[in-house]
Amino acid sequence: MDMILKDLNDSIDYIDKNLTNDLSLFDIANFVGLPEQHYRNIFIFLTGVGLSEYIKKRKLYFANKDLLNKETVTNVAIKYGYSIDGFTKSFKEWSGYLPSQIYENQVLISYPKLSFAINVKGGLNMKTRIVELPKINIVGVQKRVPMQFEGVNDEIEKLANSITDMQKKEMHNLQNIEPKEIVNVSYNADEDFVKEEGHLTHMIGVLTTENNISDQLDVINIDKSKWIVFENEGEFPKKLQDTYARIYSEWLPETEYKLADIPMFSFTKFNDSNKNIAYSEIWVAVIN
């Protein structure tokens, strides 16, 4: 636990030292030796704030201090990677003041530096099992969608509805390894730290050991790997999303495993008598 907390807090120091540079999710995650998507997820699940939002507000906080030191609006905007109009809009939304009003009114809006700590929570078991999979492909249909951590993602629903009968038939014919379910995979997340936007690639598909796959389906290649499977059942999607949060905030700091740079996947089976209740599994690839 101490090591992961140190790495996370070191990443916060790294962010502060590079606010005037072109920060990327890759750079930050690479600095602490974590896969990009896992770092981003750890960040939001432990802090409750998105990485892009945090970086944006730290930039604006330091910009606020620079303006109090009589730096020009133009220089400050360029310093933190904004256009003048973009900086003025973002600063006004954040502080309630135009940048040009800061020195005259001697305004300083605080946005403190984060510090990671783990609150130990007992009494809640996490049902898991270990599964080893051979080299596989996840095949299906994918698109870029906005990142969303709560509720139902409308764009993913649209993706599901867009799958053609021919695509469904091929996926059914290819599916030949457990779990023989329709799985959801999110990967290749990006973040725009200035615009505070983020998208990721989401695939709806199946697992297969076959390699003869038509062009109508997208493919994620995954080498032989070990997986921790997290089982959960309850109100959907809340229970599933809560389990993702607990993986990062409770299980990861205590485990001896390290996260592999392989996308997680999950599947959900709804209760026949109550469609608000579902059984789900989250599959997380690990290395010893």
What is the tens place of the pLDDT at every residue in 15-60? 999 999 988 888 999 999 888 888 988 888 888 788 888 999 999 9
Task: Evaluate if residue 276 carries a pLDDT over 80.
Answer: yes
d(CA 259, CA 217): 27
What is the residue whose two structure tokens read 């059942």? 233
Say how many C-beta atoms besides its own lie within 10 A of residue 37's C-beta. Answer: 20
What is the tens place of the pLDDT at every residue in 176-224? 999 999 999 998 877 654 444 578 899 999 999 999 999 999 999 999 9
Which are the contacts of 27, defined by CB distance < 8 A and separation ≥ 6?
Answer: 18
d(CA 105, CA 64): 12
Chain-centroid distance of CA 80 in Å reads 24
**How high is the pLDDT of residue 100?**
96
**How high is the pLDDT of residue 98?**
97
What is the tens place of the pLDDT at every residue in 63-94? 999 999 999 999 999 999 999 999 999 999 99
d(CA 234, CA 232): 7
**What is the helix (H) or strand (E) element at residue 281, kind and residue range?**
strand 277-287
Task: Evaluate if residue 123 carries a pLDDT over 60.
Answer: no
Copy the structure tokens of residue 235.
């109100």
Which domains does the chain show, CATH number per domain? 2-105 (1.10.10.60), 127-287 (3.20.80.10)
